[in-house]
C-alpha cells in the first residue's frame, strides 16, 4: 500500500500524457455528463438592466487633484452600493413581488457588477424569465429613485450625482450559465478526477 501514498513518478506522468484515447474519451464522457446536468437541472434565467451613474466630477470637485477625486469616487461608490442593497430598496422589491424574501434577493437572486462611474449592471436570476425581468426592473428603478431622493434631501450621496436608466430589462432568452460552460466544466472535472484515480489508485504493473 506504500505506492498509494507515494507521489506519481515521471514514468506515470509520461504514461498518462501518452494516453490520448483516455483524454479523448474522458473529455467526451465529461461533456455528456455536463450536458445531462444542464438539462436535468438547468440554471435560472438571467435578466439585465443598466443604470448610468454620473458623478459630475467637474461640478463636484472643480479645482481638486486627481488623488482627491479618486477618494471622492471611492467614498460615493460605497454609498451607492449601500443604497442598492439597503433594506429600503430590498423592501420595495419584496413588497412588489410578494413571494420572495430579502435574504433570497441578496443571497440567491440579485447581483451587481461594475459599480463605478458609468454603467451599473443589475442582474436578477429566476427560473421564470418574465419574473426575472420584473425583479431586476423593480430593483434598478428603486435604486434610481432612492439615489434621486437622497441627493435632493442631501442624505448620503453627493448632490451632483445622477442616476438614470439606460437599458430597461427585457424578458431574457438566455440562462445565467450557458450550455458550453457545463460542457467544458464537465469535461475538465471528469478528466481531473480520472487522472487522479489513474495516478494514485491504479495498481502498478
Domains annotated on the chain, with CATH: 2-41+179-201 (no CATH), 45-167 (3.30.70.1130)
Give 10-residue mean pLDDT values along the chain (205 residues). Answer: 54 64 81 90 94 79 64 86 94 94 95 81 95 96 93 77 88 88 90 71 52
Q: What pLDDT is recorded for position 1?
A: 47
Q: What pLDDT is recorded for position 91?
A: 96
Cell 438571467 belongs to 46
Please say whether the beta carbons of 123 and 112 come within 8 A. yes
Q: What pLDDT is recorded for position 48?
A: 95
Q: What pLDDT is recorded for position 173?
A: 87
Q: What pLDDT is recorded for position 159?
A: 78
CA contacts within 13 A on the Cβ side of 171: 4
* Coil/strand/helix, residue 167: strand
What's the CA gap between 67 and 95, in Å, rounded?
Answer: 42
Beta bridge partners of 52: 119, 164
Q: What pLDDT is recorded for position 8?
A: 57
Amino acid at each position: 500500500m506504500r505506492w498509494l501514498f507515494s507521489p506519481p513518478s515521471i514514468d506515470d506522468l509520461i504514461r498518462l500524457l501518452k494516453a490520448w484515447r483516455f483524454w479523448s474519451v474522458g473529455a467526451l464522457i465529461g461533456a455528456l455528463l455536463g450536458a445531462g446536468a444542464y438539462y436535468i437541472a438547468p440554471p435560472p434565467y438571467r435578466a439585465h438592466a443598466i443604470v448610468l451613474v454620473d458623478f459630475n466630477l467637474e461640478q463636484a470637485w472643480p479645482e481638486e487633484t486627481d488623488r482627491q477625486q479618486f477618494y471622492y469616487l471611492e467614498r460615493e461608490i460605497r454609498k451607492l452600493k449601500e443604497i442598492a442593497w439597503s433594506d429600503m430598496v430590498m423592501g420595495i422589491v419584496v413588497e412588489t413581488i410578494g413571494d420572495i424574501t430579502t435574504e433570497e434577493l441578496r443571497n440567491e437572486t440579485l447581483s451587481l457588477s461594475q459599480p463605478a462611474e458609468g454603467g451599473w449592471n443589475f442582474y436578477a436570476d429566476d427560473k421564470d424569465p418574465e419574473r426575472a425581468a420584473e425583479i431586476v426592473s423593480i430593483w434598478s428603478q428603486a435604486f434610481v429613485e432612492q439615489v434621486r431622493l437622497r441627493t435632493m434631501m442631501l442624505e448620503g450621496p453627493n448632490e451632483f450625482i445622477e442616476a438614470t436608466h439606460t437599458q430597461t430589462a427585457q424578458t431574457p432568452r438566455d440562462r445565467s450559465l450557458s450550455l458550453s460552460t457545463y460542457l467544458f466544466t464537465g469535461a475538465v472535472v471528469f478528466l481531473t478526477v480520472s487522472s487522479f484515480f489513474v495516478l494514485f489508485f491504479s495498481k502498478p504493473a
